[in-house]
Amino acid sequence: MRDLDTLRGEIDRVNRQMLALLTERLSLCAEVAEYKRAHGLPVYVPEREEAILNWAASAAGETFAPYAREYFQALMDLSKEYERETGAQSV
Amino acid sequence: MRDLDTLRGEIDRVNRQMLALLTERLSLCAEVAEYKRAHGLPVYVPEREEAILNWAASAAGETFAPYAREYFQALMDLSKEYERETGAQSV
C-alpha cells in the first residue's frame, strides 16, 4: 500500500494535468461558439452532447461509466456557462 | 478561424485525455480512502479540499478561476461518491 503523501502527490499531478485540459477545453468551446455565431449555426446541439456522454460511459468501462457520464455532464454545463459569458463579453 | 470539424476533433482529443485522467484520479482517491480506513484516519478532510480549490482558482488565472473552482468541486464530489461506493463494496 502506497503512503498518503505519495498518493496525494499523484493526485496533485493529475489535478495539474486536468486543470490544463480544462482551460484548453473552455477555450476550444468558446472558439466553437464564436464560429457558430459567425455562421448563424445553433450554439447548443443536444445530439452532440448526448453522443459525448454515451462515448464517455462506454469508453470508461462498467465500473466508471456512471461517474464518467456525470463528469462530462458537469464539464459541458461549465463549458456552456463559459461560452455564454464569452459571448456576452464579445457583443 | 478554424472550422467546426477541426475544433471538434480537438475537443474529442481533450475529452479522451480527460477521461483517462478521471479514471486515474478516481482510482487514486479510492486508494487514499482505503489507506485512511486501514489507518483509522478521517476520510474527508475539508482543509485538503479547500486547498485544492484555492490552488485551482489561483493557477487557472483570472478568466478561468470561477470555472476551475466549480470544476474541481464537481470532481471532488464525484470522487467522494466513488469512494463511498468502493468502501461499501469492500466492507
Query: What percentage of chain A exceeds 90 in pLDDT?
Result: 84
In the DSSP assignment, the letter for residue A40 is: T
Pairs of residues, one from chain A and one from chain B, whose beta carbons lie less than 8 Å apart: 129
Residue A35 lies in domain: 4-90
Q: What is the mean pLDDT of chain B?
A: 92
Q: What is the mean pLDDT of chain A?
A: 92
Query: What percentage of chain B exceeds 70 in pLDDT?
Result: 96
Domain tally for chain B? 1
Q: φ and ψ at A71, to 5 degrees?
A: -65, -50
Task: Place A88 in a pLDDT band, splitting at 50, 70 and 90.
Answer: low
CA distance A89 to chain B (A): 12
pLDDT given for residue B91 in this prediction: 42
The set of residues, in sequence order, having a beta carbon less than 8 Å from that of B43 and lying 6+ positions away, is B33, B36, B37, B83, B87
Contacts of B13 in chain A (CB under 8 A): none
ipTM above 0.90, yes or no: yes
Q: Between chains, do B59 and A11 touch, taking CB under 8 Å as contact?
A: no
Instruction: Report how far residue B8's alpha carbon sits from residue A63's, in angstroms, rounded to the nearest whole number.
Output: 27
User: Which pLDDT tens digit goes with each residue over A32-67?
Assistant: 999 999 999 998 889 999 999 999 999 999 999 999
Nearest to B59 by CA among A20, A79, A10: A20
User: Which pLDDT tens digit goes with each residue over B31-45?
Assistant: 999 999 999 999 888
Per-residue pLDDT of chain B (91 residues; tens, 9 = 90+): 789 999 999 999 999 999 999 999 999 999 999 999 999 999 888 999 999 999 999 999 999 999 999 999 999 999 999 988 877 554 4
Task: Place A91 in a pLDDT band, splitting at 50, 70 and 90.
Answer: very low
CA distance B13 to chain A (A): 10
Q: Residue A62's domain is classified under what CATH number?
A: 1.20.59.10
The set of residues, in sequence order, having a beta carbon less than 8 Å from that of A78 and lying 6+ positions away, is A26, B67, B70, B71, B74
Chain A residue at shortest CA distance from B75: A71
Q: Between chains, do B56 and A15 touch, taking CB under 8 Å as contact?
A: yes
